[in-house]
Every structure is written in C-alpha cells, then in structure tokens.
Amino acid sequence: MDSLYNPSGVEERWQQTWESEGLYSAEPGSGRETFVVAHPPPNVTGALHTGHALQISLADTLVRWHRMRGFETAFLTGYDHAGISTQNAVEKHLASQGKSRQELGREAFVELVWEWLHEYGRTITDQFRRMGASMDYARERFTMDDAYVRAVMRYFVHLHGKGWIYRANRIINWCPFHETSLSDLELVHEEVDDALTYVRYPFADDGGDGVTLATARPATILGDVAVAVHPDDDRWRHAVGREVVVPFVERRVPVVADERVDPEFGTGALKVTPGHDPMDFEIGLAHDLPELTVIGPDGRMNEAAGELAGLSQEEADRRILDWVREREQLVKREAYRHSVALCERCKSRIEPLISLQWWCRMDELKRPAVEALREGRVRYHPESQHRYAVDSLDNAPDWNISRQIWWGHQLPVWECPDGHLTVQEDTPDACSECGSTELERSEDVLDTWFSSALWPFAILGWPESTPELEAWYPGTLNTTAREIIRLWENRMIFSGLELMGGIPFRDVIIHTTVLAADGRRMSKSLGTGLDPLDLVAEHGADATRYGLMKMASSQDVRFNEKVIQEGRRLANKLWNVSRLILSNSAGATPEARPRDAEERWILARLDATRAELERSWSAFDFAPAANELYHLTFDDFCDWYAEAIKPRFRDGEDADVRATALAALERLLKLLHPVMPHVTEEIWSQLPAREQRLILSPWPEADSSHAGDLHALDRVQEAAALFRRSGAAVELDQDQRRIFDAVVRPDRVRADGDPTAEIERLRKEIARAEGMLGNERFVSRAPEDVVEAEREKLARYRRELEALGG
C-alpha cells in the first residue's frame, strides 16, 4: 500500500466489479423491504453537470446505506427524449452543415435524430457510473422505448376519455424559431433596453385630444381592437364609452374600462391587442372584443397587416412611427428597460399568439394530489419547499400539452376531412364519427413533461402488469432541483394518483442549488459551469461526493473546491490509518475485544456516530453527516485511538488489541462507505477474513454496550489541551497516564509554554461562572441540569488553575 492514496484506477476498478458482479441489480419480489429511487432521467443528449453530480451523491448515499441495511434497493435510471432540447441540438448540427430541418422534411429529420442519438446520445449514464452511482443500469429505460410510448398514448387517451383533455384556441407562447407553442415554464426572462412610445389616438368624433397611450411594440397597433383605462381613473373618465381611431389602419375602436389596467403605468391608458398579448386577450374576452392577429408564426407581419404584410416587426415599427409622426400623433419616445420572454433553448423572443392547441384540464386532476400533499402522504423536504409545492399545484392553470416540433410523442389523434377527431392508442381504421377512412394524424407532439410525468411507473412496465410494477410502486423518494417541482414532481404525483391509484413516492428531496464560486448561477452560456468529471479526475469520485454532500446545506450555496480537497484528505487519512492497522495486525481477525479505556471509547464513538448518521440521513440532512465522518476519522479515530494503541502494537503479543483495532476499522469503513464507497471497499478488500464485499455487508447494529464509555477520555483530553497550551499537568490515574503519554508524547513536546495567558483565561472563566452561580435568579429559574453543568465547569476551571499554580 502506497503512503499516498491515489483514487485513479481504484475507483474505476470497483465500479466495474460491483456492476459486473451484479451487486447493483435489484430483484423484484425478493420479499425484502424495498427502497426505490426512480432517478430523474437526464436528457438523452445531456452531459453530467454539477446538479446531476450532487443529486447522485445524495441519492446514492441513501441507496447504499439502505442496501447495507438489507433493503431490496432499486436505483433506476434512463433517458428523457427531451423534445425541444434534442431537436435543438440536432438542428444546430444541421445548421453547421448549412442545412435546415425544413429541407429534410419531418420523416427524414426524425430519422436523423435517431442516428444522432445512436452516435452522441446515451453517454451520461457512463458518467453516472464514474460518480459511483449504484444504479441498476440493466434496467435503463428511454421515454421513446416502444413500451414507454404505449404508456404515454394510454395516458392521453385515458385523460381524453374523461374529458380532461380538450382542444381550444388560446393565446400561447410561440417560439418563432422552433415554430411551436411553449408552456410558461419553458421560458426565460431577460432585461432588454427598449423604447416606450407614446401615441395619441384621436377621438372618432373629433371632440378633444383623444387618448394618449404608451406601447413598447408599435407594430401591434395594427391589431388594436380597443383602448382600456382603469374604471376609477378620473383622467380618462370622459373617454370611456367613446370611440378612438387606431393610427395607420384608421379603425374606430371603443374605449373600455377594465380593472386590469394599471393606472400608474404610462398615461394610464392601454391599447388592447387580444391577438398578441395575454392580458389583452383576457380583457378582450371580458368585453367581447374581436381577436385580430397581425403577426404570423414566423414572427413577421401577416396578410392582415395589409401593406405591411411580410415585413419584420422592426420595419413595421418604423413605418407606423413615420405615419404617426407625420400626423403629429407621436407624443414622445423614451428609453425603457423591461424584461421580455425568451425561448429557453434558442433565446428567440417569444411571440404571444392565438393558436389552436391541446390542453389538459387541471381542476379535477390536481385535487387528489393537493390532498395527498396537504395530508403529508407525500412530503417535500425542506418544509418550505413543501408549502411552495402545494401552493403551485393548487394554483396550476390548465396545461398546454401540444407542441409543434417534430421530435416527440405524436398525439394519438386522427382527423377526417369533415373535421371529426378520433382519439385512440393505435391507428384507427375509420373515423369514429362518420366512418371516413381518409384519416390524418395530428402533427403535434406532446410536451416532454407529459411523458416524464409517467416515469415512476412507466419504467416499471405500466400499463402492463409486471413483477417490477408490483414490487416497486410506490417508490420511496425522489431528488430534484427547486425549479423542477412544478414541471415534474407535482405532475408525477397527480399522474400516479390518477393511473396507479396511489402516490409515486413518499419523500421528495429538493436539493441545494450549487452556484458558481462567484455566486452567479452555473450556466454554460455564462461560462460559469463546471464539469464534475474534472473534479473526479483530479480528486476522485469519493472526494467529489463528500464535498458536494458537505456543500448541500442551505437553499443556495457557492461552489467551493476546498471542500472537495477536504474529501480527498479524508480518503488519504483513512488509507493511511488502515495501513497502520493492517501492517500491525498480521494473523489477527477482526473482533471487538476491548479491554482499556481508549478501546471502549472508540467503540462508543463509532456507535454514537452511527446513530448520528442515521438521524441526519433519515432527515435528509446531509452536511452534518459529512462533518461527523470527518471529525470521527481525523480526531477520534486517528489522533486519539490510533495514537493511543500504537505503543501497544509495538509492545508485541497483544492479540486483543489487534483484533479490536481491525473491528473498529471495519466499523469505520462501514460508516464511511455510503459517502465514499470506493476507498472503503478497496481497504475492506485487504482486511483478513473477507466473506463479502463491503457494499453488501451489514450496516452496524446499534450497540449501547459502551455508551458509558463515551466520556472515558474526557479527563485525558482536558489534560492534553492544558499541557499543550501551558505545560501544566493535572493528576491522572495510571490508565489515563498511559494514554496521555502515548498521544501527547510529553517526552518529545517542548512543554515550555507560558502559563500566564492560560491563568488569565481561567480566572476570567471562573469569575463568569461564579457570577452566574451567585445570581439567585439564575440558580432558582434556570433548569437544574444547566446549573449543575455550570458548577462542574467551575470545578474544572479551579482544578486546572491549581495545576498551573495560580
């Protein structure tokens, strides 16, 4: 064994061994209690990022812990076809060759996507493997697998049959590049410098000045069907009920009063363009106004724009501004900074358009899920995220589930020439209404999240009845990032309740968002991203897992490579103390036969740490567990226990000390294994009398037999601290003296410290404690144990002061 632990090579070797020996595989129906994690499927073209790495570190720790505890663990994974994202990647590739998907046509394009995936897709699970994720890779599923597609079709038909899926014209977010609708959740918002234009709309009857209003998008003036003001706005009360003339198109439109208008903005008057603005769309509905669409799906002015048809919006802006300027209706233009919606994939500016789309009604679907959350049958952690999840589900609007892209699950909807719709899983022979055989399938595909919503049971074979589905539904927990709650978690919950009749998992861990070191969001486009595989290459997967776990504390945390280095030092420390014990234990077998204080003490400390780990992992409270392991290894195990027994190793024949040391090391390895699986398995394999791999060896039982020894070294540790600070020695019994000499080695330490500062410190402490104990109100009102603890402290300070001769 080298004196420097090098994880490279060791980790890969164990990853291959564990998997090839089938130790990652789960067996349905084994009869053991199950621990099931359906891991979030990464995008099929995706690469590992810090979020994945953190997620795996947390989930795999829990999985490995439960595997050791004898649970049948199923850690399941696979890929998401990721509609827009994947299509976008392939389109970029096409563009680099000067081609477009339109030139290829739909069929050839989809074929190209499959080829692309064959070549570039499905690499991320190898990166999961490299993190040490103990997933059942043989059960990988893809949302485009035939069986999965069947599940998606079944769900659509099911919801349609209940009347919860319908088609309607609504205003939606349109991406002019992808030429598809997008849900609100697929947008990003960005601040832009723009101009706000104040335009006067004259009254149609020529009396007075008319109404001046402000707009950021003059081109949409062509689609104006009204002007709206707030009903309580005295400035415009005279205008309500009259008509104004829309510039350029010279259309007469009414002035209406509506509470949605913000009187504080601009002049307090709003041009109403239901065809191109969501709020205007609502105002239009309320006032029974027509919906006029003047911008087409390509983002340019359409036929309804008359002489401006075919122009870009910028050109149309200019033409309209010229028109109002000539007629002195351009009041002013001012700089205006505001946020605009962009497509999260291509960053195109989103066009609100009225469009015929498919919707999923949420009111009844969400109700049982809200109930399950309110009753705590599914719990989000931390609690603050639970409240957010419930609120956002409770307020979820109907869900636009159709997309006009090409890569995805095509809707199981067929239309005949008379416009009748037939909805069924497989291609129908004839129209269900008129019997026509001239059917055309809808070209729309489903929102990617519609299929993701089925993940926890579709990967188990639903709608078929399978042993996996029987054994592993509901699962145990799910881990994800905050922004995925509405997109995915809530939808899995209502889908599971609807189709399976029960929740998909009990707990959802919303993990920390790891920010870049400078506090900005990690993102490829900002250049603030970080490749976890670089960390693994440099420090090892064990160190990376440890570091990420220790960082996973509050809601947002800055990435800190120092913590990963700390993990590497921990692995190295463990490696070296193992070398010490192994090299001194030839012929011994692990068995706890403690005789002296330090032996009983380390067994007590190991058991206390076991309990603490169980507590924090059960509460999904990861950072304290990492801390505890570090402290146990460095301070307790190495600096005290190992130092204390070293001379006894050298003394020779003490078989009990060696057997106990091996047993203690075994327990330490077990406690560390869920977090640092590789280095612990490597050391484990070198211990004598190995019957099974550490990954499968049982988690230590609770062992209270040494609980009384948890404080066995207190006096020695006090004495050591005092001696090292000041050179003073307190009285110790013979056994305590032996440990003190072994650990402190007063023969080698220069004990010439100046006791003055220490005396000063102790006098202050004594004064403080005496003050408290002399306060009658403290003694009578504080809890008895607090008062008692204070008395003990005072006694100790006096003892130490005496040793210093003060």
Partner RNA sequence: GGGCGCAUAGCUCAGCGGGAGAGCGCCCGCUUCACACGCGGGAGGUCCCUGGUUCGAUCCCAGGUGCGCCCACCA
Report the residue from 132, 266, 594, 700 that binds RNA according to the rule CB under 7 A. Answer: 266
Q: Does 612 bind RNA (CB under 7 A)?
A: no
Find the part of the chain contacting RNA (CB under 7 A) among 38-46, 83-91, 207-215, 286-294.
Answer: 207-215
> What is the rounded CA–CA span in Å between residue 245 and residue 749?
95
**At closest approach, how far in Å is the CB of 110 from RNA?**
29
Nearer to RNA, 425 or 639 (CB): 639
Number of residues forming the site for RNA (CB under 7 A): 95
> What is the rounded CA–CA span in Å between residue 24 and residue 58?
17
> What is the rounded CA–CA span in Å between residue 451 and residue 409?
8
Nearer to RNA, 163 or 376 (CB): 376
Find the part of the chain contacting RNA (CB under 7 A) among 140-148, 305-313, 372-380, 765-773.
Answer: 765-773
**At closest approach, how far in Å is the CB of 333 from RNA?**
14
Q: Does 6 bind RNA (CB under 7 A)?
A: yes
For 772-789, the three-class secondary structure string (H helix, E strand, C coil) is HHHCHHHHHHCCHHHHHH
How many residues would you count in the chain? Answer: 806
Q: Does 782 bind RNA (CB under 7 A)?
A: yes
| Residue 450 token pair | 């519609």
Nearer to RNA, 90 or 552 (CB): 552
Report the residue from 198, 472, 494, 797 that binds RNA according to the rule CB under 7 A. Answer: 797
Find the part of the chain contacting RNA (CB under 7 A) among 31-39, 261-269, 354-362, 658-666.
Answer: 261-269
Q: Does 775 bind RNA (CB under 7 A)?
A: yes
- Return the H-helix or E-strand segment holding 389: helix 383-394
> What is the rounded CA–CA span in Å between residue 557 and residue 522?
11
Q: Does 495 bind RNA (CB under 7 A)?
A: no
Q: Does 524 bind RNA (CB under 7 A)?
A: no
Identity of the amino acid at 505? F
Among positions 347-406, residues that touch RNA (CB under 7 A) are 384-385, 387-388
Find the part of the chain contacting RNA (CB under 7 A) among 295-303, 324-332, 367-375, 563-571.
Answer: 563-571
Report the residue from 13, 786, 788, 795 that binds RNA according to the rule CB under 7 A. Answer: 786
**At closest approach, how far in Å is the CB of 627 from RNA?**
5
> What is the rounded CA–CA span in Å between residue 121 and residue 76?
18
Q: Does 333 bind RNA (CB under 7 A)?
A: no
Among positions 566-605, residues that touch RNA (CB under 7 A) are 566, 568-569, 571-573, 576-577, 579-580, 583
Nearer to RNA, 118 or 337 (CB): 337
Among positions 450-489, residues that touch RNA (CB under 7 A) are 482-483
Among positions 613-632, residues that touch RNA (CB under 7 A) are 623-624, 627, 630
> What is the rounded CA–CA span in Å between residue 665 and residue 219?
75
| Contacts with RNA, 160-199, as mask; x by CB under 7 A | ------------------------xx-x-x----------
**At closest approach, how far in Å is the CB of 642 from RNA?**
4
- DSSP SS3 for 334: strand
Q: Does 342 bind RNA (CB under 7 A)?
A: no
> What is the rounded CA–CA span in Å between residue 718 and residue 664?
24
Report the residue from 560, 707, 741, 806 that binds RNA according to the rule CB under 7 A. Answer: 560
- DSSP SS3 for 361: coil
Residues 248-255: contacts with CB under 8 Å, at least 24 apart: 248/221, 248/222, 248/319, 248/320, 248/323, 248/324, 249/221, 249/222, 249/224, 249/306, 251/224, 252/204, 253/224, 253/225, 253/226, 253/227, 254/226, 254/227, 254/287, 255/211, 255/226, 255/227, 255/228, 255/229
- DSSP SS3 for 387: helix
Find the part of the chain contacting RNA (CB under 7 A) among 103-111, 152-160, 561-569, 678-686.
Answer: 561-569
Residues in CB range of 799: below 8 A, 6 or more apart: 730
Nearest to 445 by CA among 358, 361, 356, 348: 358
